[in-house]
Amino acid sequence: MMNIRAGFAVGTAKGISKVLRLLGRGATTLPGRIALKIYPQILSLLSKDQKIIVLTGTNGKTTTTHMAAGILKSLGFTVITNVSGANLATGIATTMIEGIRIRTRAEKAGKKTVYVIEADEAAFSKVNGQLQPQVCVVTNLFRDQLDRYGELVHTQAFIAKGLDAVTARILLDADDSLVAALERGREDRVVFFGMDEGSMTRNTVTNPLKSGLSETTSDASYCSFCQTKYEYRARSFGHLGAFYCPGCGYSRKEPDFLVSYSTQTAAGSLSESSDDLGPADVGFPVTLAYSGESVTIALPIPGLHNFYNTAAAVAACVALGEKCGEPGLSFANCAKAIEFVQPAFGRMEKIPIGAKSLCLLLVKNPVGLERALSFVSQASDAGGMYLLLNSNDADGKDVSWIWDVDFESRSYPEKVFVSGERYGDMYLRLAYAGIDKDRMHALPMTGCQDLLDEALAKCEDGKCLYILPNYTAMLALREILVRRYHLKDFWK
């Protein structure tokens, strides 16, 4: 039973969200903010006896959340999930409040409801205990905007705190030494997902690198437990790979959920000069394996990092099925269902514009930008690249991380456009990476719309303009796209 104060909180929040919608503004955090003020325990109340998956990690959580929600929807569940990165306590509370209506309607229709909640790493430590999910997923730990989040070991500690507040099954990325280290002391609850060693792009067997297995920048070169330098049998990207510590023996465990693909097939479809394989095409065949069973699927969203997201999303749904006794959530069902998932807001979203298209790739931190550049440099349909760099609070004030990204070892579309409040910083980064100034056109944020028009005009028919904005730049761009190119608003 809801007490009076809680009822008031929910009622007020619902009212506000209705008003905001009528005003045509996306109500993604304000209703929750007010409800939490009136009744701080609102999340415990609304999550009681519900089926819940909570996902956290620095990269890929929006995509993984979106994929898991997609799987569950196509298997007949009603899904309540937070949209467009509203992943702090306020956004999660808003989602839960708006979920009441959805849940009631689902119950009437005889459908089961699942909550798939994305939580920011710091928010995770606070809200996870209240939500009491059956399944938690930690995607990965890459350095993020350091002025906002601090160091990676602190992020890791936040996540540990959140995990210890619940009895949920824990899904961890086996290939990320920082994430996998969270298994210690929680062994009986942990299930690993990861990539097959032979499929990792930089392995000693099918794709040895001349320069060995080293990376330009790694976020975790040294052992979490004894501080000896890790060695790798194979690497996929960043610090992800089949690591082992020669000092204390800590090493990557064989994943329970394994994703693999043929590097031969991938190499055939990609440029030969690239060290950084990773299918850039939708529908690339990958194989998922779990508990002796294996299913080959067409990858719904391209990019090597999405191999991990795919494995994590399938694993999350299967784990939920096992925990809650839902036979419909079998491994085969979940794996097959992922083929129908479309990209999430700003994540590899391809939008047709006349005879051309544009593709948005949100880039918030070094590994995100690194993945996006790798993707664009391999895309056969690239008709231009447009980078936008802002430095508002939500982006992080410090843009120096663009210098940590390896721009040098890739080739880009002939035309490169640059905007955002820090367009000068990005322009200089590109110039120093060897892109001739005659190939670049850079304008301040006030000119970002003109530059978009120009970039699209210069993009050949049948080709795609790849746009790489950071967070607030993407929001601004999205508004322009809605206004000028009549795109659907993201909160609808």
Helix%, strand%, coil% for the chain, nearest 5 = 40, 20, 40
Applying CB under 8 A, among 18, 48, 153, 265 the residue interacting with another protein is: 153
**How many residues does this entry show for the chain?**
492
Does position 151 interact with another protein (CB under 8 A)? The reply is yes
Residue number, 347 or 429, with CB nearest to another protein: 429
Applying CB under 8 A, among 275, 424, 450, 484 the residue interacting with another protein is: 424
Interface map 358-397 toward another protein (x if CB under 8 A): ---------------------------------------x
Quote the least distance from Cβ 214 to another protein, whole Å: 8
Residue number, 113 or 419, with CB nearest to another protein: 419
Distance CA 257, CA 311 (A): 7
Task: Count the site residues for another protein by CB under 8 A.
Answer: 35
Q: Centre a 10 Å sphere on the Cβ of residue 4 and count the other Cβ atoms it contains.
A: 8
Q: CA 246, 143, 428, 437 torsion: positive or negative?
A: positive
Does position 18 interact with another protein (CB under 8 A)? The reply is no
- The contacts of residue 342 (CB under 8 Å, 6+ apart) are 70, 300, 301
Q: What are residue 433's phi and psi, to 5 degrees?
A: -85, 0
Q: For residue 456, count CB atoms less than 10 angstroms from its CB and return exposed for 0-12, middle for 13-18, buried for 19 or more.
A: buried
453 neighbors 372 (Cβ within 8 angstroms): no
Which region, judged by CB under 8 A, interacts with another protein, from 144-152, 157-165, 264-272, 352-360? Answer: 144-152
Applying CB under 8 A, among 51, 61, 126, 143 the residue interacting with another protein is: 143
Which region, judged by CB under 8 A, interacts with another protein, from 67-75, 114-122, 169-177, 416-424? Answer: 416-424
174 neighbors 192 (Cβ within 8 angstroms): yes
Residue number, 331 or 401, with CB nearest to another protein: 401
3-state secondary structure of 79: strand
Q: Centre a 10 Å sphere on the Cβ of residue 445 and count the other Cβ atoms it contains.
A: 18
Q: Count Cα atoms within 13 angstroms, Cβ side, for 310.
A: 35
Residue number, 272 or 438, with CB nearest to another protein: 438
Applying CB under 8 A, among 169, 336, 415, 429 the residue interacting with another protein is: 429
Q: What angle do CA 132, 136, 138 make, to 5 degrees?
A: 145
Applying CB under 8 A, among 402, 452, 473, 474 the residue interacting with another protein is: 402
Which region, judged by CB under 8 A, interacts with another protein, from 134-142, 210-218, 307-315, 326-334? Answer: 210-218
3-state secondary structure of 111: coil
Q: Centre a 10 Å sphere on the Cβ of residue 84 and count the other Cβ atoms it contains.
A: 17
Applying CB under 8 A, among 19, 25, 147, 332 the residue interacting with another protein is: 147
What sections of 379-447 are H helices per DSSP?
Answer: 423-432
Does position 294 interact with another protein (CB under 8 A)? The reply is no
Applying CB under 8 A, among 86, 116, 152, 270 the residue interacting with another protein is: 152
Amino acid letter at 25?
Answer: R
Interface map 215-254 toward another protein (x if CB under 8 A): -xxx--xx----x-x-------------------------
Quote the least distance from Cβ 443 to another protein, whole Å: 10
Interface map 298-337 toward another protein (x if CB under 8 A): ----------------------------------------
How many contiguous H segments (helices) and E segments (strands) does the chain have? 16, 18
Which region, judged by CB under 8 A, interacts with another protein, from 242-250, 263-271, 369-377, 417-425? Answer: 417-425
160 neighbors 182 (Cβ within 8 angstroms): yes
Residues that bind another protein (CB under 8 A): 143, 146-147, 151-153, 216-218, 221-222, 227, 229, 397-404, 408, 421-425, 427-429, 431-432, 437, 442, 444
